[in-house]
Chains A and B, each alone.
Chain A
Amino acid sequence: MPHKLSEIISWPEQREKAKTYFDSYGWPDNRNEAWKYTSLAHLKEGKFTASSDNAPIDSAPIDSTAQPEGFYVEISGSAVQLPPQDALPNGISITDITADDNARAAAFTHLADNHLLPALSAMHQTSAIAIDIEKTDSAAPLPAVILNLTGSNKEGACYPFVIVRVHKGAEARIAEIHSSHAGLSCPLMVYEVADDAKLQHIRLQAEASHTTHLGLNQMQMGKNSQINSFAISMGGALSRLETHSLFLGSDAELAQSAIYLGRDRQHHDITSFVAHEIRDCASRQLIRGVLDDKARGVFQGKVRVAPDAQKTDGQQMSRALLLSRDAEADAKPELEIFADDVVCSHGATVGELDENLMFYLKSRGIAEEDARNMLIDAFLVDTLDEIEDPDFAAFMTSQINRWSLARR
């Protein structure tokens, strides 16, 4: 998406603005409405600096057997390892833009102002990568680009920053795999999907059990573009994934799913903001959570339909399944509709396994524990049809299966 130069404030200014914001507001706690269910008060004590420890991590919590094929971009703390450009096929280029202040500043143009996550990234990011996907003559889809985000410094923090530019008419396949062992992990991903372009996207958050994960995925969509995105949050002690989706052209379609899987005392937060600024766009969001033990899940979903965004089709559904009396789920769906000719719906449910379904399975001779497991798996697997790309679907399926088996 081209930016007007006048809109862009320079990188040093951007950074200064972020510092000013953070100095005034600091780490939010429950008194802040946007952080009502997810307090970051514990970070006030932390002395996090950018991670520079690049030792390989000892145990990957990820099931790597179904790892998708493609070109791997290794981001470990502030160390970045890119595939050599001559190894990449026509249509894909991956560049280190750490020194390119203009490119970094441009990527911030549409990011939320006065918002914690962009501010943290602007203040602390030590590297920046741009991935450009351009339309090719070949009919076959381009290979996937896999962002492998690690980092092993338990005392440190990492702030990876990646801009993915899917150029006009191109089709991109991007996977994010977050398995950092850092104390604080704050990845910022900006996806700029241009007119007529398409993005297939998965995101797996499987970080170490002590990690605080604060991720922001910004999705910007041009005219007639499509995004098919699926995220799983299963790692970390406290994890928040914010997705900010912005329609910048008409006739664009966003299909966005997110699953969170909580155990022990894990805290998972999925916060999404969909901004329908332009007419004739569609967004469909599906959020599911499974919470065991004393885990807590949060879903906050705001859909804003601007006065000019007529014929918007906005659907949002979140469901949380509690497997334990001590688990807790909170949901805050919000619709802000300023246009009159729209179809929008949202729903949020929190519940235990349905007794009627349990009885049906048991009445067929299936034992209680087996019936429970069948229904939990079904609750999650039911969403996997949303993933269009078969490789991505296989990878995400294996993560869910692995989590389910470990729970038993």
Chain B
Amino acid sequence: MNLLEIKNLHASIGDTKILHGINLTINRGEVHAIMGPNGSGKSTLSYVLSGRDGYEVTDGEILLDGESVLEMEADERARAGMFLAFQYPVELPGVTGMSFLRAAVNARRREAGQDEVDQLEFVKLVRAAAADLGVDNEMLKRAVNVGFSGGEKKRYEILQMSLLKPSLAVLDETDSGLDVDALKIVSDGVNAQRGGDCGMLVITHYQRLLSHIVPDFVHILAGGRIIKSGDKSLALEVEENGYAGLVDAA
């Protein structure tokens, strides 16, 4: 069975139609990249997949492990294995990192019929995962994302991903706001979770992220449709010639 199947997906925000019939299939272990110019519907696609309020699916279907997610709330989709790494992670003053991470992991575990994590063991687990991503203990003690730099926020997203072990990870412009060093750390974190059962959808404007997280498939999104699909060489073609030629040809 396919991990994710998007069939003829049409979606609107209010009266504005953004997605006009997207078809995309992702299997376990695959990394797909979606590239596209500004306003092509990239972020809308990530929000529609993760079930954000205000994004209405007017036609089509989204299947995760063969089950429709359209009637599921964002939290249900997350517990079913979906994860969205935010382009702009929000600050949560007053919510400490450890309690937030534990609540998220426990929500997922309860859904799977597992016991909640042991508190001490969890702290060890988080610290180990955090160390790999250059997230220090001080950051874990602070309120979620409060006072974090752009790069720190992105690393924190990937830390959450590594703890939640999603079956489908959607990375929305994870490269935005990162310098070269931070990009490397974040990409290494993502690559460490590649393969196995996890499928990934990497959304980006630029090719540069894809030289770190090398995709198996590349799709060009323009005007709310996938206008071209190919392998990683398609990303290089965009880098070389820009989106204009592809969009005109479509």
B-binding residues in A (CB < 8 A): 354-357, 359-368, 370-371, 374-375, 377-382
Give the distance to chain A from B93, nearest Cβ to Cβ, in Å. 5
Output the nearest chain B residue to A380 by Cβ-Cβ distance: B94
Give the distance to chain B from A139, nearest Cβ to Cβ, in Å. 30
Partner of A362, one of B74, B92, B143, B164: B74
Q: Are B92 and A367 touching (Cβ within 8 A)?
A: no
Give the distance to chain A from B91, nearest Cβ to Cβ, in Å. 8
Interface presence of B95 (CB below 8 A): yes
A126 to B123, CA, bound (A): 57
Give the distance to chain A from B162, nearest Cβ to Cβ, in Å. 13
Output the nearest chain A residue to B93 by Cβ-Cβ distance: A382
A360 to B111, CA, bound (A): 19
- Give the residues in chain A near B164, CB-CB below 8 Å: 364-365
- Give the residues in chain B near A355, CB-CB below 8 Å: 53
| Chain A interface, DSSP helix/strand/loop, else mixed | helix
A377 to B95, CA, bound (A): 8
Interface mask (B75-106 → A, CB under 8 Å = 1, otherwise 0): 10011000110100110111100001001100
- Give the residues in chain A near B94, CB-CB below 8 Å: 377-382
Give the distance to chain A from B82, nearest Cβ to Cβ, in Å. 8
Q: Are A362 and B93 touching (Cβ within 8 A)?
A: no
Give the distance to chain B from A293, nearest Cβ to Cβ, in Å. 23
A364 to B145, CA, bound (A): 15
A151 to B94, CA, bound (A): 36
Interface centre among B75, B89, B111 (most CB of A within 10 A): B75
Give the distance to chain B from A374, nearest Cβ to Cβ, in Å. 6
A379 to B78, CA, bound (A): 24
A379 to B143, CA, bound (A): 12
Interface presence of B141 (CB below 8 A): no
Q: Are B103 and A362 touching (Cβ within 8 A)?
A: no
Q: Are A360 and B93 touching (Cβ within 8 A)?
A: no
Q: Are A363 and B74 touching (Cβ within 8 A)?
A: yes
Partner of A365, one of B53, B93, B95, B108: B108
A368 to B84, CA, bound (A): 17
A354 to B94, CA, bound (A): 14
A223 to B107, CA, bound (A): 54
- Give the residues in chain A near B53, CB-CB below 8 Å: 355, 359
Q: Are A357 and B92 touching (Cβ within 8 A)?
A: yes
Give the distance to chain B from A47, nearest Cβ to Cβ, in Å. 45
> With A355-B53, A371-B75 as given contacts, are A360 and B90 in contact (CB-CB < 8 Å)?
yes
- Give the residues in chain A near B50, CB-CB below 8 Å: 363
Q: Are B95 and A359 touching (Cβ within 8 A)?
A: no
Q: Are A365 and B104 touching (Cβ within 8 A)?
A: yes
A365 to B93, CA, bound (A): 19
6 tightest Cβ-Cβ pairs between the two chains A and B: A378-B94, A382-B94, A365-B78, A364-B104, A365-B107, A362-B75
A363 to B111, CA, bound (A): 14
Interface centre among B83, B93, B164 (most CB of A within 10 A): B93
Output the nearest chain B residue to A374 by Cβ-Cβ distance: B95
- Give the residues in chain A near B90, CB-CB below 8 Å: 354, 356-357, 360
* Interface pairs (28), CB distance under 8 Å: A356-B90, A359-B52, A359-B74, A360-B89, A361-B75, A361-B100, A362-B73, A363-B78, A363-B84, A364-B75, A364-B104, A364-B107, A365-B104, A365-B107, A365-B108, A366-B104, A366-B107, A370-B107, A371-B75, A375-B92, A378-B92, A378-B94, A378-B143, A379-B93, A379-B94, A382-B93, A382-B94, A382-B143
> With A355-B53, A359-B53, A374-B95 as given contacts, are A365 and B79 in contact (CB-CB < 8 Å)?
yes
- Give the residues in chain B near A364, CB-CB below 8 Å: 75, 78, 100, 103-104, 107, 160, 164
A148 to B93, CA, bound (A): 33
A382 to B91, CA, bound (A): 13
Give the distance to chain A from B157, nearest Cβ to Cβ, in Å. 10
Give the distance to chain B from A278, nearest Cβ to Cβ, in Å. 33
- Give the residues in chain B near A381, CB-CB below 8 Å: 94
- Give the residues in chain B near A356, CB-CB below 8 Å: 90
A361 to B159, CA, bound (A): 15
A367 to B103, CA, bound (A): 10
Give the distance to chain A from B126, nearest Cβ to Cβ, in Å. 14
A203 to B135, CA, bound (A): 39
> With A355-B53, A359-B53, A360-B86 as given contacts, are A366 and B92 in contact (CB-CB < 8 Å)?
no
A359 to B88, CA, bound (A): 12
A375 to B90, CA, bound (A): 13
Give the distance to chain B from A400, nearest Cβ to Cβ, in Å. 11
Give the distance to chain B from A286, nearest Cβ to Cβ, in Å. 12
Give the distance to chain A from B182, nearest Cβ to Cβ, in Å. 21
> With A365-B79, A368-B73 as given contacts, are A360 and B107 in contact (CB-CB < 8 Å)?
no
Q: Are A365 and B111 touching (Cβ within 8 A)?
A: yes
Q: Are B160 and A378 touching (Cβ within 8 A)?
A: no
A365 to B83, CA, bound (A): 9
Give the distance to chain A from B202, nearest Cβ to Cβ, in Å. 17
A367 to B79, CA, bound (A): 9
Output the nearest chain B residue to A383 by Cβ-Cβ distance: B94
User: CB within 8 Å of A: which of B128-144?
Assistant: 143
Q: Are A362 and B78 touching (Cβ within 8 A)?
A: yes
- Give the residues in chain B near A365, CB-CB below 8 Å: 75, 78-79, 104, 107-108, 111, 164
Q: Are A368 and B92 touching (Cβ within 8 A)?
A: no
A367 to B74, CA, bound (A): 9
- Give the residues in chain A near B103, CB-CB below 8 Å: 364, 366, 370, 374
A364 to B73, CA, bound (A): 12
Give the distance to chain B from A385, nearest Cβ to Cβ, in Å. 9
A381 to B92, CA, bound (A): 12
Give the distance to chain B from A382, nearest Cβ to Cβ, in Å. 3
- Give the residues in chain A near B92, CB-CB below 8 Å: 357, 360-361, 375, 378
Give the distance to chain A from B13, nearest Cβ to Cβ, in Å. 13
Give the distance to chain A from B47, nearest Cβ to Cβ, in Å. 8
Give the distance to chain B from A304, nearest Cβ to Cβ, in Å. 30
Interface centre among A367, A368, A370, A380 (most CB of B within 10 A): A367
A364 to B107, CA, bound (A): 8
Partner of B107, one of A354, A357, A367: A367
